[in-house]
């Protein structure tokens, strides 16, 4: 049984190298990524990202829940269109910054408990999973 599990893990790793984008690369629905920094600055509110299955994202921005499509092959990261609930709150500036940054990310890197999203224009979003 251990050999079979090892082989399945190897296949998942090879899939990631080939450019497949299984949700398992991002931890699937069990993995909740929490934004720690945006462009080198500590993010002033709580924002999360989950990739529940291939082709989907969702989570909580500082004020609202959001959802959207995820296209591209790993390490490409193309989220959108992104929809959200529409409640106002004192953190709307942080909410808009988060959703705008998430929508402009083009590359993902997953290493241990860190997910980094970047683009060619200097964006850097660093998420961690502490669970």
Sign (positive or negative) of CA dihedral 82, 85, 86, 87: negative
For residue 21, what pLDDT is reported?
Answer: 59
Q: Answer for the pair 75, 108: CB distance below 8 angstroms, yes or no.
A: yes
By percentage, how much of the chain surpasses pLDDT 70? 82
Q: Could you give the 3-state DSSP secondary structure of residue 11?
A: helix
Convert the pLDDT of each residue in 86-103 to its tens digit: 999 999 999 999 999 999
Tell me how far apart the alpha carbons of residues 24 and 69 are, in angstroms, rounded to a whole number. Answer: 16
Convert the pLDDT of each residue in 48-82 to its tens digit: 999 998 899 999 999 999 999 999 888 999 999 99
Distances (CA, A) of 20 to 8, 52, 77, 91, 113: 15, 16, 12, 36, 20
Q: Answer for the pair 115, 26: CB distance below 8 angstroms, yes or no.
A: yes
Q: Where are the alpha helices (DSSP H) in the chain?
A: 2-18, 92-104
């Amino acid at each position: 049984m251990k050999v079979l599990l090892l082989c399945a893990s190897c296949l998942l790793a090879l899939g990631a190298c080939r450019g497949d984008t299984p949700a398992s690369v991002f931890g699937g629905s069990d993995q909740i990524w929490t934004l720690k920094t945006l462009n080198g600055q500590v993010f002033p509110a709580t924002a999360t990202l989950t990739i529940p299955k291939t082709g989907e994202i969702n989570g909580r921005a500082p004020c609202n829940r959001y959802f959207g499509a995820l296209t591209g092959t790993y390490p490409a990261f193309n989220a959108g269109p992104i929809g959200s609930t529409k409640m106002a709150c004192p953190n709307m500036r942080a909410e808009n910054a988060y959703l705008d940054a998430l929508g402009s990310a083009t590359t993902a890197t997953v290493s241990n408990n860190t997910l980094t999203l970047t683009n060619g224009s200097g964006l850097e979003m660093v998420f961690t999973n502490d669970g």
